[in-house]
Amino acid sequence: MSIPTEPIGSIPRPRSLQTALTDHAEGHLTDADLKALQEKATIDTLTRLEQLGCDVLVDGEQSKPSFVTYPLAGSDNLDPNGVVLAFADGHTRQLPRLASGPFRYQVRAESYLRDAQRHTDHPIKQAVIAPSALSLLYPNEPITGYSREAFLHDLADEAEADIRGCLDAGAYCVQLDFTEGRLSLKLDPSGGLLDDFIALNNEVLGRFTQAERSRLGVHTCPGADHDSTHSLDVDYTDLLPKLFRLKVGNFYVQLAGEPDPERVLRVIAEHLRPGVRVFIGVTDPISTAVESPEEVRDRVLLAARYIPVDQLGTCDDCGFSPFADDTSTSRELAFAKIEARVRGTALASPGLGL
């Protein structure tokens, strides 16, 4: 037995792909040429993860525009002026706004998974956006002829199909990205918005069998864009008790970047239920310092004081480049941190009797 360790999702795109994305947006590169470069970057990502000893791979989201907007590419019923997400360093990201119904995914995560599967025999985890994040697309003012209730019904159906397509395609695990969970407590300190998010996500997750939910997970973090966060100042104790109500078998919890990780571990231990696994973050994508394997080992050993070893795993705190245009973290730095995570997790095993 060994402690499982998994990446979260995004890895910085190669410089050549970053340039190609700009050229494509300006009309100087064809769709086919861009796709070829994205495929090349995906192959390189998978190969390097294999070489680092990763048992479970991700495609690094080399073909996604962002972790949240991939289902929307090609939609013709969106207005760009949606919810604004503010980060601690002052920069913002803005979601689009639904202008008319019905709501439909234009791209499904299954397509990324099948593309990656052509280039490796290793198990692949596929990240998908949680329906709660996309619920923010509906405007405050009702859309004529398309109520919020109708939108949420369509959204739940689309999210279920996105997840089920990945499971049916053979994903090792399907991970719901739920960064908006912690952010919701900043937008609505009463917790009402978080309750709505949990209920919507569980509406979708409840459509899967217990066996299927053992292959589902949810990732929480305070955001990681341009080396900044949007909700690190939100107390984890306000989020985690409700987070663990989600009907999944795996939780990926940002921890390395927390000012008091032991306090967070105590809350996790209090709310941990049997039969689930908690992957704790042992590398911080926001930090430019590369963790040593020994530092990772010590973080694992600390976590094992609160989480039973057979329910413990490790991960990176967050994806390294959730938005395609984020160049704040280099590709080499990301792989160095991943190597430290893999080696450090292995170093912890003897100390835990594994």
Q: What are phi and psi of 198, to 5 degrees?
A: -65, -45
Query: Residue 1: what pLDDT?
Result: 61
Name residue, tokens 């190609």.
Answer: 20
More confident residue, 122 or 325: 122
Q: Alpha-carbon distance 236 to 259, whole Å?
A: 11
Q: What percent of the chain has pLDDT over 70?
A: 100
Q: Angle, nearest 10°, between helix axes 192-205 and 236-243?
A: 30
Q: Are 257 and 317 in contact (CB under 8 A)?
A: yes
Query: Sign of the C-alpha dihedral, residues 9, 11, 87, 155?
Result: negative
The stretch 5-26 carries a mean pLDDT of 93
Q: What percent of the chain has pLDDT over 90?
A: 91
> Strand pairing partners for 252?
219, 279
Residue 218 — very low, low, confident or very high, per pLDDT cuts 50/70/90? Answer: very high
pTM (global) more than 0.75:
yes
57-78 pLDDT tens trace = 999 999 999 999 999 988 999 9
88-133 pLDDT tens trace = 999 999 999 999 999 999 999 999 999 999 999 999 999 999 999 9
The stretch 31-43 carries a mean pLDDT of 95
Q: Break the chain into its structural domains and give their ranges.
A: 5-351
Query: Residue 325: what pLDDT?
Result: 87
Contacts of 108 (CB under 8 A, 6+ apart): 71, 161, 162, 165
Query: Residue 328: what pLDDT?
Result: 87
285-308 pLDDT tens trace = 999 999 999 999 999 999 999 999
Q: What are phi and psi of 199, to 5 degrees?
A: -65, -45
The stretch 303-321 carries a mean pLDDT of 97
Q: Alpha-carbon distance 184 to 186, whole Å?
A: 5
| pLDDT of 41 strictly over 90 | yes
Contacts of 167-171 with CB under 8 Å at 24 or more apart are 167/208, 167/212, 167/215, 168/110, 169/110, 169/113, 169/114, 169/117, 170/113, 170/117, 171/113, 171/124, 171/125, 171/126, 171/215
341-354 pLDDT tens trace = 999 999 998 888 87
Tokens read off for 224: 């990681």
Neighbours of 81 (CB within 10 A): 12
Q: Alpha-carbon distance 139 to 99, whole Å?
A: 8
Contacts of 145 (CB under 8 A, 6+ apart): 100, 101
pLDDT, the chain, mean = 95
Q: Which fold has domain 5-351?
A: TIM Barrel (3.20.20)
Q: Alpha-carbon distance 348 to 354, whole Å?
A: 9
Name residue, tokens 């571990």.
Answer: 265
Q: What is the DSSP letter of 124?
A: B
The stretch 34-50 carries a mean pLDDT of 96
Query: Residue 33: what pLDDT?
Result: 93
The stretch 133-152 carries a mean pLDDT of 96
